[in-house]
Structure 1
Amino acid sequence: MIQLEVIKGFYKREKALPAAFPMRILVIKEAEGYLHMNSGDHKLIAGRIFFIPEEGLVRLDGEIQFAYWLTFSSILYAEFLLQHLDPLAKNLFLKLSYRDLDANEFKKTTSLIEQLRKEVDARRDVAYLSQYLSLFLGYTSDLDGYLAALSLDELQQVLRFRAILEQFYKTERSIEFYAQGMGISSRKLNLFLSKVLGKSLSSLIKDRIMREAEMLLLHSDHSVDEIAKILGFEQTSNFHSTFRRYKGVTVNQFSHLG
């Protein structure tokens, strides 16, 4: 599903950089030389992060003092796309692109990626890793502009909340439950969600439930009654009315549109 390693040493363009999974990111901490692909040659610069398309071999030419090589599956990438519906997100890996991070951005990026490496080594589940990657991609690609203003501690809190929400959104609705999981008071969690994510807990839970509803309606063989039960609705009629208010179309209309 995901592989993250530190790479160092001398590289020659005759030998392609091996990738375990199709989605690929190269984060340069210190290096001299070039990244070569069919689309062109790109200089290896400290603080540069490359988002590399699925197609094409990656060839390095030069010396890598320290870089992170991250590859992951499209299954993990899917959560990022569900959270980012704009074309910029969908195009992130369609062609080679990169960002040059300033010192503060790079410090946060390396802290996040080091923590991700620990989570991978700890064999965290797919749901958690998909949330981590979604936050990491949103931050490093600058598609989630609000994340840039957050401290590293606040970024970690966003991740912690997303991970807890991902695990319990179908069954838990109370602010007290999520506050306990975060290790803070209900009041502080309400303030944090309002300040950082701009939404209440109930809105965030509803957003996540409706995204799951869309996925199940379009990509599963479950009946509407079964989907309502999976998502924690006691009555299918409640699921129908909630979905219509949220999407502006009925369940049947959405299924046919898909």
Structure 2
Amino acid sequence: MVSTLVNSKNGHLAFKIFDFEGQGHFDHIHRNNYYSLIFLKQGKGSLKADFASYDLKDGSVFAFSPYQPFMFAAEDGIKGLAIQFHPDFFCIHKHQNEVACNGVLFNNIYEPPFITVSATQEQQLYPVIEQLRSETKNTAIAQYELLLAHLKILLIYLSRIKIEQQPDLQKNTGDNDPPFILQHLKNAIEHHFRTKHSASDYASILHISPKALGRITKAYFNKTLTALISERIIIEAKRELYLTSKTVKEIAFELGYEDEYYFSRFFKTNADVSPQIYRESVGFAAGEQ
């Protein structure tokens, strides 16, 4: 069953909810220009997202941002449902204070892009999903407003579950304890990603060898340190491209790249599209409207 709403101004997808079953769904790399929430009811295999791979588990909910690459390599048929929405329909950057899902469900480079929900949590989530499904078929007054309200509730519920499941990296404070180092690494990346782009920069800040820091990063984040840094830069670039009317050159300079063309190549390598195409397909200057 598929329910779709289309943006009447440009003909692009606004909101979509559908059930899926079988091998043919998400079995190749997806780089969509909208957000995706995928509820896996049944399936075994692996998820490949960005630079990492994870095991599939029944009852998982996956959250992917625009142009974030992902695919499922299922051992047998998978079954579930998906909710997809364009940033023009609901922008998590603009509504961060309302739903607090940016950096939790979406655009979180430090945690896997999924959560596992319990039977009790499913009883809370699925009635909201059914309300979304029902409202997509209802052409009565204020349809979009009700859809947005239900979507916000769903995102809040999912964000709460994700926060409950995130490990507390600050419990241990020994200087040689990996969680302690990782918390300092996260703080360093958030503070310096606009000016420091190499793994050795962060190893120097943390007073640890690049090789040792790389091993710890790979073990805990399932990503290389270089990939982690690149993802953080790309997330900020996407935010600026979507929310502002700054030129690519201005955005590149603010992110520590003096050469606009080098930055554009870096962006395309990591996002699979150029900054210009990303802006055209996702949105433009939404924060200034």
Indicate the structure (1 or 2) with the bigger Cα radius of gyration.
1
Bin the TM-score by the shorter chain. Answer: 0.3 to 0.5
Choose between structure 1 and 2: higher helix proportion.
Answer: 1
Q: TM-score, normalised by structure 2?
A: 0.43
